[in-house]
Amino acid sequence: MTRSAGLAFVETFLSVFRLKDGQNKTKETVMTSSSGQTIEAFLNAFRLKDVDAAMAKISDQVKVTIFPMKVQNAGKTVVASLLNDIVTAFPDLLITVHHLTTVGKVVVAEFKLEGTQAADFLGAINQEKHLDLDTAWRFTVEGDQVVALEAYWCQNQLYRRLAIKRQDEVAIV
């Protein structure tokens, strides 16, 4: 391959990963399916701490399961509460998406939540600890609305990061 052909290839490759304003997208955010685009919009709003915009992608009839919180068959208010709690407890929140996998109506998002605790969170009192929590959320999308959401994370990892020594009384100082 000649140098000019190589440069043309690189420019073509990079153009696929550029936003309209010239900023680069990560390869995880390049989606062609409407299900993937819906989740991409949800996660981008969550990244920006815009809970209302994220919740606009959640159906009023959503079925929610959050395994670490032992929540099953809950509704939209649980999602709003969780997102608000995360954004409030971690005002410097950084969300890093590692993988988005789309299979038809189902999208699995693996991402890391990072930030410094500034308020109580899921029963853990604020000790101003840094959190980096690996999570996996499974979404089912119909149209442009999430109709089912299942969230997973390691509760022990959460407790360790927030310096909780005993798990039977998480609010110990």
Model pLDDT for residues 115-152, shown as the tens digit of each residue: 999 998 888 888 888 999 999 999 999 999 999 999 99
Considering the domain architecture, whether residues 5 and 52 belong to the same structural domain is answered as no
Considering the domain architecture, whether residues 106 and 85 belong to the same structural domain is answered as yes
Segment 69-80, tens digit of pLDDT: 899 999 999 999
pLDDT averaged over every residue in the chain: 81
Lowest model confidence (mean pLDDT) among 9-13, 41-45, 158-162, 165-169:
9-13
Considering the domain architecture, whether residues 1 and 64 belong to the same structural domain is answered as no
Considering the domain architecture, whether residues 120 and 138 belong to the same structural domain is answered as yes
**Higher confidence at residue 86 or residue 18?**
86
For residue 60, what pLDDT is reported? 96
For residue 156, what pLDDT is reported? 82
Number of domains in the chain: 2
Considering the domain architecture, whether residues 22 and 38 belong to the same structural domain is answered as no
Cα 122 to the center of its chain, rounded Å: 17
Domain of 42?
A: 31-161
Residue ranges in 26-75 assigned as alpha helix (H):
34-47, 51-55
156/152 Cα distance (integer angstroms) = 12
51/154 Cα distance (integer angstroms) = 23
Spatial neighbors of 86 by CB under 8 A, at least 6 apart, are 93, 113, 121
- First vs last Cα of the chain: how many Å apart? 63
HEC sequence for 103-152: ECCEEEEEEEEEEECCCCECCECCCCCEEEEEEEEEEEEECCEEEEEEEE
Considering the domain architecture, whether residues 15 and 43 belong to the same structural domain is answered as no
Considering the domain architecture, whether residues 103 and 18 belong to the same structural domain is answered as no
For residue 24, what pLDDT is reported? 41
- 27, amino acid identity: K
CA dihedral of residues 41, 44, 49, 54 (deg, nearest 10): 10
Instruction: Answer yes or no: is pLDDT of 26 > 80.
Output: no
Considering the domain architecture, whether residues 80 and 150 belong to the same structural domain is answered as yes
Count of other CB atoms within 10 angstroms of residue 73: 8
For residue 122, what pLDDT is reported? 84
96/1 Cα distance (integer angstroms) = 35
* Strand ordering across the sheet containing 71-74: 71-74, 58-66, 145-153, 130-142, 106-116, 94-103
